A = this chain, B = another copy of it.
Amino acid sequence: MPLAEFPLIYRYFSHLGGGAAVDLSVGDDCAIVRLEAGERLATSVDTMVAGVHFPEDSFPEDIGYRAVATAASDLAAMGARPLGMTVALTLPDTDELWLHAFSEGLAAAVSEYSLPLIGGDTTRGPLSISVQVLGALPMAQALLRSGARVGDEVYVSGTLGDAAGALAILQQQWRPEPDHTEYLLRRFNRPTARLDLGRELLGLATAAIDISDGLLADAAHIAAASGVRLSIEAARLPLSPALCSHQNRETIMRWALTGGDNYELCFCLPAGSTAPAGTTRVGRVEAGAGVDCDLAMDAPTGYQHFTGD
C-alpha cells in the first residue's frame, strides 16, 4: 500500500497516522487496526472528483477537509466510533504547494474527527480523492435506514440548505452580505460530520441517514428501506439566518428540501422521545410509501452535484 508513488507524500502525510486503535499504520502492505471486544467493523467509501463534486479552483485545504468530512458522515449515520481511514489520491502532478495545503486540510479533519490516516495510495491522473472510513459498532447495534416505524417522529440536525446556497454563490447566482457569504461557503467547504450525535442516537433512533442528496431524497431512502412514508412539514425546517437573507422564500425552501452536500443527519425517534440538543423535529412517520411534504415544489427533487461552470 505505497503512499510513495510521489515520494513527497511522506513528508506531508506521515504524521497523520497514529491513533489508539492503530497497531500498524502507513508503511507495510496493510495497516492493522484493533476493534474492542464485542465490536464489529463499519466501513464506507466516498469519492470526490474535481469539477464534479467540487469546483476545480477550490482551495486544496478545503478539498482535503471536505473529502474526509463527507466520508466520516457515513460513520455518523451508522452511529459508529471512528477508527481510521485510508485515502486514495489521484493527482495530475506533484505540486508541492498544493500538497502542503491539501495535507493541512486533511490534518484538520483527522484531528476533528479522530480519524488517523492509516494508509493510502497515490497515483497520477485527473484530481480525485477516495476516502475509505473505518469505524466500530457494538455487535448488536447500528443506525440503519430500515427501522423507522409508523408513529415515529422525523428529526434533522443543524440547518438545511446552506450548501445549496453556497453553490449559488460559487456559481455567481447570488451575492449575500459578506458575513453570510463566509458562513455559507464554509458550510459547503467544511461540512460537519455529526459523529457525536450519531453515537448518541445509537439505541435511541429507529432509523438514520446523512443528508448528502437533499432532505427529500434521503428521507425517501429511509421510507423505502423501512416500508413507511415520511411526512415533512416545511414550516418546521431549521434554516440559518444566512440562508434566510435570500429574498425569495421559494428558493430558500427548495434549497432546504432538495439541496445536497449538507451532511446533517435525518433520523427517526419514537414519539415522545427527548431529542438530542441541536436537532429539530421536521415531520412524522406514517403508513404508506415515499416522502410527503406539505409544500408543493415545482423543482425536481433529485439533486445534482456541482458540475462545473
Copies in the complex: 2
Partner of A32, one of B40, B119, B209, B213: B40
Once the chains are docked, how many angstroms separate the CA of A30 from the CA of B213? Answer: 16
Does A93 sit within 8 A of B, measured CB to CB? no
Question: A49-B124, A52-B124, A74-B29 are known contacts. Are A44 and B90 too (CB-CB below 8 A)?
Answer: no
Does A41 sit within 8 A of B, measured CB to CB? yes
Question: A121-B130, A125-B126, A142-B24 are known contacts. Are A75 and B30 too (CB-CB below 8 A)?
Answer: yes
Q: Are B118 and A49 in contact (CB under 8 A)?
A: no
Which chain A residues in 101-157 approach chain B with CB under 8 Å?
118-121, 123-126, 128, 130, 132-135, 137, 139, 142-146
Show 17 A/B contacts (Cβ-Cβ < 8 Å), sorted by A: A1-B45, A1-B46, A24-B144, A29-B78, A30-B42, A30-B80, A32-B40, A41-B134, A43-B134, A44-B86, A46-B88, A47-B88, A49-B90, A52-B124, A125-B126, A128-B128, A130-B130
**Total number of A residues with any Cβ neighbor in B under 8 Å:** 63
A4 CB, nearest partner CB in chain B, Å? 10
Known: A28-B145, A30-B43. 5 other contacts (CB 8 A): A30-B78, A30-B135, A33-B41, A35-B35, A126-B126
Partner of A47, one of B31, B48, B130, B139: B130
Once the chains are docked, how many angstroms separate the CA of A33 from the CA of B128? Answer: 27
Q: Are B130 and A28 in contact (CB under 8 A)?
A: no
Does A20 sit within 8 A of B, measured CB to CB? no
Question: A45-B1, A125-B49 are known contacts. Are A32 and B134 too (CB-CB below 8 A)?
Answer: no
Q: Which residues of B contact A37 (CB under 8 A)?
A: 37
